[in-house]
């Protein structure tokens, strides 16, 4: 079926008004030999049929609803209060577009303004844009921004090997045409080294230093002295953060970071097999003119009412074209709204609770797992809700065994880091009960005793 | 709606900010107490002291956002003919299928054996998009149209580089192009050469030929272009670019006009992005998330972003195939984390499945019918600089003989008639442009009412121009002081300073 509302009579009246005989007559500019191809696609289904087909595909998956999940590595299984999706399903929000006409878009505009505010509160920074595609592209846009700030005169970017492997891969793709050199992007380097080890890579040509907090292995560091060192060299620092951890930990803003970005998925956005998620981007006010992406600012309307508009649009592609900082056009509007609703309804108490529950449960899991013979914690540094577990058997083998018991095991770190062969990255959130953690321990115990 | 009027420096507050609704110690959601022993917290110096987030009850949050939502114009509420954005109706079933727990609660890094439903859906969508566009392979990874463009430009660059052809640094871009085209090329370090349009709105062939040499990476072509016109010399344009060794990138923003009408790959276009949020009805979400898959011709397949969904083990009579991931050998790399906007893939899949080949062709036919009908109704009232049969949209000039009103005034006045204005001041090559794209999901009655409103506004422009200058009158908000916003740069709010003492 289609969603076309025309009756045959209306269609014919319209064709007559246009002055053509048939619908085909409207396509005479299209090269005749390629016009009206027969598409080899399955015949149309009714809504009833398509609902059943999609249900069948969904049922062919084992989701984190059926499995007990200890998988994280950049996407986290947190509880999403009902209210979030109820707001998202308002047609007034999801069937609107970019608020080009502020007189009839104040809902979206005020919601984005509030989102921007919430992100600066979380990260301890001064300004936030209206969002990017995801955490990985937000990191890449940080490089774009810094490239514009230095007008291309500094051409080195230092990135810690403990930044998410897919973020580093995305950045490698983005910089292909930019004439930038990436340093530090080496998974064989010493993963136990302190953040200050990166200092040896920072030189007078370095534009940006990128670190992650907690890092890919869940570890938390105070980056203050690294940031001071980078600043002495004239470089800026970008910290990619987990927003839930920000409820508990010293912010990168307090450490002196220039840019704080991250993946907003943990803030009320379903796992949805990897997307759509939310890239948040915050920085210092002095850089706002070089920041990419949409930005909402406060103003008044002709009736003296407080109102909001897209502002500093002269930075953007539709005006600056090839001289724009970035080509970004859309933001992740609806996902930004989801995170704003989530943060509003949790508030400081709820978000702290989520962070602390995740922290304590992860530490309980780590403690119990490291008691099993042959297992141990890989790193000794403080961590948040994720940790690297050294295993006596290949991770793939252990994960197969866990899956047979309905448990989704951790991420196999050996895929990305040769030195971490047989290491599993385990994530624990408020969703994991003690019973589930104990089951994980029991099944792993049994797996090595087999 | 009730208007809450709090006096604050003489500015009326229609809906307070979420921070202004906060009260210390309140929360909308609580979580269970910890069922594990508490661990030692990190060193005090590593802990945050204050977390200045607003504190509301659930009902406050619901009322706040409900109230905000009433300020938004939207497709569910009315006609939204925003040119080049394809604001068609978003079917409700799509929202249900994307939220099926089997999809919505799968983790992107699960073992492939546990997500065969997702992978089968993505594989099939890749196949369908290939068939619809005439390309040899598709990547679903790019997150939006502009992201697809960047992906495409990097593929073009990598292709030339792989052939040892290092001198190609110029991207040709018609003057009618979307701003994202030059911006995407600029991000990839390329030099932009603008190609003018001829008097009929086509790419100026002579100018194109002059710009073509051995330094050309390619041409970024939007067809139908942003005037809503199908380029009459499309095949010659493609031939000209190929003759100098360049590639033709198709901006798929306007694909809605071509479904079942023309497959871009069939006329030699080398690669193209799709906008699932335009052509395939995934919602615009107030500015995203979009989804911008990229399709390529056979010679570019190896350069697609990694990974692509593929069959890793063929099926047989008893067993379905096993789907998994595949990295093209010369891939440009990944363009984002994970596998793209999967939730949008589910919606687009649902939409294509419900249309089938005939339904897809009808989409294009009726989108083009609606645009031509509106163009015919408005001819004579507003100048139409490139007046011929259009595709899914057309561009009129927002001016009226004997009046000083501008496109902006017309756009604002349309809101008083309860319509969303067309895109204005784009494309840049039309003076006072009003770019009108009705889409196929609007009925004749709506189009008639819209045309009548525009005709009446043209009358008002002559008889009572101030009515337009001061418009809109009936919307919840009036025209904005944009200069104040840019000068003062108030970009966020906080909890009040005396918050703790409240």
Strand A296-300 to strand B294-296: parallel, antiparallel, or no bridges (unpaired)? unpaired
Top residue of A95, A147, A223, A283 to mutate, by most chain B CBs within 10 Å, is A95
Q: Does B451 touch chain A (CB under 8 A)?
A: no
First to last CA, chain B: 29
Q: Please give the sequence-ordered ranges of beta strands (E in DSSP) within B93-133, or none if there are none.
A: none
Partners of B100 on chain A (C-beta within 8 Å) are 54-55, 58
Which helix (H) or strand (E) segment is B378 a member of? helix B342-378
Partners of A350 on chain B (C-beta within 8 Å) are 27-31
Residue window 235-274, chain A: list those with CB within 8 Å of chain B.
246-251, 254, 263, 270-274
Instruction: Evaluate if residue A427 carries a pLDDT over 60.
Output: yes
Please give the CATH number for the structural domain made up of B93-354. 3.40.640.10
What are the beta bridge partners of residue B77? none
- Are B415 and B470 spatial neighbours (Cβ–Cβ below 8 Å)? no
A95, A103, A288 member nearest B472 (Cβ): A103
pLDDT at A413: 98
DSSP B35-58: SSPPPPPP-GGGB-S--------H
pLDDT at B6: 44
**What are the tens digits of pLDDT across the range A382-426?**
999 999 999 999 999 999 999 999 999 999 999 999 999 999 999
pLDDT at A330: 72
Residue B421 CA, chain-centre distance (Å), reads 17
Rounded distance between C-alpha atoms, residue B131 and residue B295, angstroms: 10
- Are B378 and B384 spatial neighbours (Cβ–Cβ below 8 Å)? yes
The domain ranges of chain B are 93-354, 362-485
Which helix (H) or strand (E) segment is B98 a member of? helix B92-98
pLDDT at A366: 98
Q: pLDDT below 50 — which residues of chain B?
A: 1-7
Percent of chain A predicted with pLDDT > 70: 100
pLDDT at A331: 84
Counting one residue from A and one from B, how many pairs have CB atoms under 8 Å apart? Answer: 705
Q: Do domains A68-79+347-449 and A82-342 have the same CATH topology?
A: no
Q: How many helices (H) and strands (E) does chain A have?
A: 13, 15
- Are A182 and A198 spatial neighbours (Cβ–Cβ below 8 Å)? no
Partners of B89 on chain A (C-beta within 8 Å) are 3
- Are B125 and B345 spatial neighbours (Cβ–Cβ below 8 Å)? yes
pLDDT at A65: 96
- Are B82 and B36 spatial neighbours (Cβ–Cβ below 8 Å)? no
Top residue of B423, B477, B482, B490 to mutate, by most chain A CBs within 10 Å, is B477
Q: Does A167 touch chain B (CB under 8 A)?
A: yes
pLDDT at B179: 85
pLDDT at A111: 98
Q: Does B311 touch chain A (CB under 8 A)?
A: no
- Both structure tokens of B96: 């249900």
Rounded distance between C-alpha atoms, residue B217 and residue B156, angstroms: 7
> ipTM score of the complex?
0.97
Instruction: Decide: pTM greater than 0.95.
Output: yes
Handedness of CA A117, A121, A126, A128 (dihedral sign): negative
Strand B308-313 to strand A306-310: parallel, antiparallel, or no bridges (unpaired)? unpaired
The domain ranges of chain A are 68-79+347-449, 82-342
Contacts of residue B253, Cβ cutoff 8 Å, sequence gap at least 6: B84, B86, B145, B178, B222, B275, B278
Strand B271-273 to strand B294-296: parallel, antiparallel, or no bridges (unpaired)? antiparallel
Please give the CATH number for the structural domain made up of A68-79+347-449. 3.90.1150.10
**What are the tens digits of pLDDT across the range A225-249?**
999 999 999 999 999 999 999 999 9
Rounded distance between C-alpha atoms, residue B126 and residue B348, angstroms: 11
pLDDT at A36: 98
Partners of A318 on chain B (C-beta within 8 Å) are 178-180, 426
Which phi and psi (to 5°) does residue B428 adopt?
-65, -20
Which helix (H) or strand (E) segment is A400 a member of? helix A395-404
| Degrees, nearest 5: CA angle A190-A192-A195 | 90
Spell out the alpha helix ranges (H) of A60-214.
82-88, 91-94, 106-123, 135-149, 165-174
Q: Does B319 touch chain A (CB under 8 A)?
A: no
- Both structure tokens of B442: 């609007």
**What are the tens digits of pLDDT across the range B417-442?**
999 999 999 998 999 999 999 999 99
Decide if A108 and B230 are in contact by the 8 Å CB cutoff: no
pLDDT at B5: 44
Instruction: Evaluate if residue A318 carries a pLDDT over 80.
Output: no
- Both structure tokens of B358: 């005939």
Q: Does B166 touch chain A (CB under 8 A)?
A: no
Strand B394-397 to strand B433-436: parallel, antiparallel, or no bridges (unpaired)? antiparallel
Neighbours of A218 (CB within 10 A): 26
| Degrees, nearest 5: CA angle A97-A101-A104 | 85
Rounded distance between C-alpha atoms, residue B335 and residue A137, angstroms: 8
DSSP B279-324: TT----TTT------EEE-GGGGGGSPSPEEEEEE---SSSPPEEE
Q: Which residue of A has its CA nearest to B171?
A: A322
- Are B278 and B129 spatial neighbours (Cβ–Cβ below 8 Å)? no
- Tokens 């990166």 belong to which residue? A198
Rounded distance between C-alpha atoms, residue A350 and residue B426, angstroms: 46
pLDDT at A1: 75
Q: Does B201 touch chain A (CB under 8 A)?
A: no
The class that CATH gives domain A82-342 is alpha beta
Percent of chain A predicted with pLDDT > 90: 92
**What are the tens digits of pLDDT across the range A339-381?**
999 999 999 999 999 999 999 999 999 999 999 999 999 999 9
Q: Which residue of A has its CA nearest to B494?
A: A117
| DSSP three-state, residue B124 | helix
Buried b (16+ CB within 10 A) or exposed e, B27-51: bbbebeebebeebeebeeeeebeeb
pLDDT at B9: 60
Query: pLDDT band at A23, cuts 50/70/90?
Result: very high
Q: Is the peptide bond before B289 cis (omega within 30 degrees of 0)?
A: yes
- Both structure tokens of B247: 């590639």
| Degrees, nearest 5: CA angle B226-B145-B387 | 10
Q: Does A17 touch chain B (CB under 8 A)?
A: yes
| Mean pLDDT over the full length of chain B | 95
Which phi and psi (to 5°) does residue A234 adopt?
85, 10
Q: Does A380 touch chain B (CB under 8 A)?
A: no
Measured CA to CA in angstroms, residue B30 lies from A343, A377, B50, B305 at distances of 13, 32, 19, 42
Alpha-carbon dihedral angle through residues A234, A240, A245, A248, given to the nearest 10 degrees: 10
- Closest CA relative to residue B488, chosen from A102, A309, A373, A383: A309
Fold (topology level) of B362-485: 3.90.1150
- Closest CA relative to residue B266, chosen from B130, B156, B434: B130
Rounded distance between C-alpha atoms, residue A333 and residue A82, angstroms: 19
What are the beta bridge partners of residue A219? A383
Rounded distance between C-alpha atoms, residue B295 and residue B285, angstroms: 24
Decide if A433 and B184 are in contact by the 8 Å CB cutoff: no
Rounded distance between C-alpha atoms, residue A36 and residue B197, angstroms: 27
Decide if B444 and A1 are in contact by the 8 Å CB cutoff: no
| Mean pLDDT over the full length of chain A | 96
Q: What is the mean pLDDT of residues A141-159?
A: 95
Rounded distance between C-alpha atoms, residue B437 and residue B423, angstroms: 9
pLDDT at B2: 39
**What are the tens digits of pLDDT across the range A43-97?**
999 999 999 999 999 999 999 999 999 999 999 999 999 999 999 999 999 999 9
Q: What is the DSSP letter of A290?
A: G
């Amino acid at each position: 079926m289609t969603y076309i509302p025309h009756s045959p009579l209306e269609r014919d009246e319209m064709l007559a008004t246009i002055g053509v005989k048939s619908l085909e007559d409207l396509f005479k500019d299209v090269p005749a030999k390629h016009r009206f191809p027969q598409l080899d696609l399955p015949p149309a289904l009714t809504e009833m049929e398509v609902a059943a087909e999609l249900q069948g595909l969904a049922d062919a998956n084992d989701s984190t609803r059926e499995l007990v999940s200890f998988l994280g590595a950049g996407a986290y299984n947190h509880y999403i209060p009902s209210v979030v999706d109820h707001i998202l399903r308002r047609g007034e929000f999801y069937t609107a577009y970019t608020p080009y006409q502020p007189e009839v878009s104040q809902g979206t505009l005020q919601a984005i303004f509030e989102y921007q505010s919430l992100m600066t509160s979380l990260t301890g920074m001064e300004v936030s844009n209206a969002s990017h595609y995801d955490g990985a592209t937000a990191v890449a846009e940080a490089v774009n921004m810094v490239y514009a700030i230095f007008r291309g005169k500094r051409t080195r970017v230092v990135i810690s090997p403990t930044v998410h492997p897919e973020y580093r891969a995305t950045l490698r793709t983005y910089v292909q045409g930019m004439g930038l050199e990436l340093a530090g992007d080496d998974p064989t380097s010493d993963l136990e080294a302190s953040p200050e080890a990166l200092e040896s890579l920072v030189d007078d040509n370095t534009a940006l230093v990128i670190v992650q907090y907690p890092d890919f292995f869940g570890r938390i560091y105070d980056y203050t002295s690294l940031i001071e060192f980078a600043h002495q060299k004239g470089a800026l620092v970008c910290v990619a953060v987990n927003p839930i951890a920000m409820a508990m930990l010293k912010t990168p803003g307090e450490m002196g970071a220039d840019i704080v970005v991250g993946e907003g998925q943990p803030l009320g956005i379903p796992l949805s097999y990897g997307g759509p998620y939310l890239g948040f981007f915050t920085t210092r006010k002095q850089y706002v003119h070089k920041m990419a992406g949409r930005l909402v600012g406060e103003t008044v309307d002709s009736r003296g009412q407080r109102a909001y508009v897209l502002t500093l649009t002269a930075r953007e592609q539709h005006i600056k074209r090839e001289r724009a900082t970035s080509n970004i056009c859309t933001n992740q509007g609806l996902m930004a709204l989801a995170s704003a609703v989530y943060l509003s309804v949790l508030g400081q108490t709820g978000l702290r609770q989520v962070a602390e529950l995740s922290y304590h449960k992860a530490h309980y899991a780590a403690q119990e797992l490291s008691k099993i013979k042959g297992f141990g914690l890989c790193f000794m540094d403080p961590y948040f809700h994720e940790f690297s577990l050294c295993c006596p058997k290949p991770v793939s083998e252990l994960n197969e065994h866990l899956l047979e018991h309905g448990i989704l095991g951790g991420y196999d770190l050996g895929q990305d880091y040769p030195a971490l062969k047989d290491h599993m990255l385990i994530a624990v959130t408020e969703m994991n009960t003690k019973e589930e953690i104990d089951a994980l321990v029991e099944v792993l115990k049994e797996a090595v005793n087999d | 709606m009730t208007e809450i009027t709090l006096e604050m420096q003489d500015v009326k507050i229609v809906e307070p900010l979420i921070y202004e609704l906060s009260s210390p110690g309140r929360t909308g959601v609580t979580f269970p107490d910890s069922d594990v022993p508490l661990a030692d917290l990190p060193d005090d110096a590593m802990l945050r002291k204050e977390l200045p987030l607003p504190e509301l009850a659930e009902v406050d949050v619901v009322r706040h956002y409900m109230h905000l939502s009433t300020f938004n114009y939207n497709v569910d509420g009315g006609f939204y003919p925003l040119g080049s954005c394809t604001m068609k109706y978003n079917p409700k079933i799509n929202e249900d299928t994307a939220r099926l727990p089997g999809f919505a609660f799968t983790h992107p890094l699960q073992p492939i054996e546990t997500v065969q439903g997702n992978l089968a859906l993505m594989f099939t969508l890749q196949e369908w998009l290939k068939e619809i566009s005439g390309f040899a392979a598709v990547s679903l990874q790019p997150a939006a149209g502009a992201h697809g463009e960047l992906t495409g430009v990097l593929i073009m660059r990598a292709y030339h580089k792989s052939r040892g052809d290092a001198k190609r640094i110029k991207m040709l871009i018609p003057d009618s192009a979307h701003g994202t085209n030059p911006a995407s090329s600029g991000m990839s370090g390329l030099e932009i050469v603008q190609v003018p349009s001829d008097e009929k709105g086509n790419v100026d062939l002579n100018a194109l030929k002059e710009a073509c040499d051995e330094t050309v990476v390619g041409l970024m072509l939007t067809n139908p272009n942003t005037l809503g016109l199908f380029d009459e010399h499309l095949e010659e344009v493609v031939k000209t670019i190929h003759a100098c060794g360049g590639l033709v990138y198709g901006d798929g923003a306007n694909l809605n006009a071509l479904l079942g009408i023309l497959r871009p790959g069939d006329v030699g276009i080398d690669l193209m992005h799709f906008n699932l949020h335009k052509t395939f009805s995934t919602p615009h979400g107030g500015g995203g998330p979009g989804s911008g898959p990229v399709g390529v011709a056979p010679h570019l397949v190896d350069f697609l972003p990694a990974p692509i969904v593929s069959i890793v083990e063929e099926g047989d009579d008893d067993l379905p195939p096993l789907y998994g991931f595949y990295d093209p050998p010369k891939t440009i790399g990944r363009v984002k984390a994970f596998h793209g906007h999967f939730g949008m893939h589910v919606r687009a899949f649902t939409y294509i499945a419900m249309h089938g080949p005939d339904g897809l062709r009808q989409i294009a036919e009726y989108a083009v019918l609606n645009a031509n009908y509106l163009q015919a109704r408005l001819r004579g009232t507003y100048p139409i600089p490139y007046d011929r049969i259009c595709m899914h949209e057309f561009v009129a000039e927002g001016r009226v003989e004997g009046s000083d009103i501008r496109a902006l005034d017309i756009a604002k006045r349309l809101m008083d008639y309860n319509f969303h204005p067309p895109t204005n001041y784009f494309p840049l090559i039309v003076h006072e442009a009003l770019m009108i794209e009705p889409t196929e999901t609007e009925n004749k009655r709506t189009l008639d009412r819209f045309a009548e409103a525009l005709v009446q506004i043209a009358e008002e422009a002559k008889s009572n121009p101030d009515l337009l200058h001061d418009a809109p009158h009936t919307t919840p908000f009036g025209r904005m002081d944009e200069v104040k916003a840019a000068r003062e740069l108030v970009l966020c709010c906080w909890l009040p300073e005396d918050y703790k003492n409240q």
